[in-house]
Amino acid sequence: MENQIHFLWRLQEIDLDLSRMREQEQQLGVEIDRLKEEEEELVGVMAGLNEQLAAKNAERQNIQVEIERLKAMVADSKEKLTQIKNNKEYFAALKEIESSEKEMNLYETGLLELLEETEALQSQLNDQEVLLTEKREAIAAREAETASQVKGLKQELDAIQKERQKTIDLLDKRLLARYDRIRRRFANAVVSVERGTCMGCHVNVPPQVYINLLKGDEILNCPNCQRIMYSVPETDGE
């Protein structure tokens, strides 16, 4: 019976190690997921900037078409000017040319502003591109690092699994079932009892139960929390 509780204690150590390692494994994936989310955000920002840039370029093209149209109009009007004999008509035509040229100037100023805006957008895009490249490099590096860590963890897990199986083979099947049942409620199904106190629920074990526990004839559950009690022979640290 005494050996059984030792094996069970060992099994619990193994199980706690296993869950710790599985958590570690998960944690590694979480970090990569976070980096990938950041990458997606950058891609989204860049798509937005590209959209803005395309809109500005379309606007620029429209203005250029408008300017070309006005230019042609002015050239046409200037040519007609030479054929006008009447003074009144002549000045009216001049005025028209003047107003077309004014309009053209306005468009050209607008065009310059658009060019500046386009350049600003382009430089923002370039900055984002650099960030994205850096992020992708970080992801690749982290993935490579994680892959080797996961590989190491898997090897350790395999070794521990084998040890777990060996320990299980040594255990009484009913005791194992009891352990598994309690483990559904508590990660530590087996707890030490120190100076008469259950280290799982920190409640004092009734004296008679404690005496029976120390005798080691049977494996007992804590009357309060139902965990399996283990009386540590020598307290080798917590």
Residues that bind Zn ion in the complex, under the rule CB under 5 A: 198, 200-201, 222, 224-225
Please answer whether residues 157 and 67 qualify as being in contact, where contact means their C-beta atoms are separated by less than 8 angstroms: no
Angle at CA of residue 187, ends 161 and 165, nearest 5°: 20
Strands 190-194 and 228-230: parallel
Return the number of the residue (35 or 189) whose C-beta is nearest Zn ion.
189
Q: How many CB atoms lie within 10 A of CB 210?
A: 19
Shortest Cβ distance from residue 8 to Zn ion (Å)?
A: 16
Return the number of the residue (70 or 205) whose C-beta is nearest Zn ion.
205
Shortest Cβ distance from residue 209 to Zn ion (Å)?
A: 11
CA gap 200, 152 in Å, rounded:
32
Strands 197-198 and 190-194: antiparallel
As a whole number of Å, the CA-based R_g of the chain is 41
Shortest Cβ distance from residue 202 to Zn ion (Å)?
A: 8
Return the number of the residue (110 or 196) whose C-beta is nearest Zn ion.
196
| Burial (CB count within 10 angstroms: exposed 0-12, middle 13-18, buried 19+), residue 64 | middle
Shortest Cβ distance from residue 201 to Zn ion (Å)?
A: 3
Shortest Cβ distance from residue 7 to Zn ion (Å)?
A: 21
Return the number of the residue (135 or 227) whose C-beta is nearest Zn ion.
227
Return the number of the residue (64 or 192) whose C-beta is nearest Zn ion.
192
Helix (H, G, I), strand (E, B) or coil at 192: strand
Return the number of the residue (198 or 220) whose C-beta is nearest Zn ion.
198
The 8-class DSSP code of residue 185 comes to: T
Q: Which helix (H) or strand (E) holds 190?
A: strand 190-194
CA gap 97, 99 in Å, rounded:
5
Helix (H, G, I), strand (E, B) or coil at 114: helix
Shortest Cβ distance from residue 157 to Zn ion (Å)?
A: 30
Selection from 228, 163, 164 nearest residue 199 by Cα: 228
Return the number of the residue (220 or 222) whose C-beta is nearest Zn ion.
222
Shortest Cβ distance from residue 219 to Zn ion (Å)?
A: 14
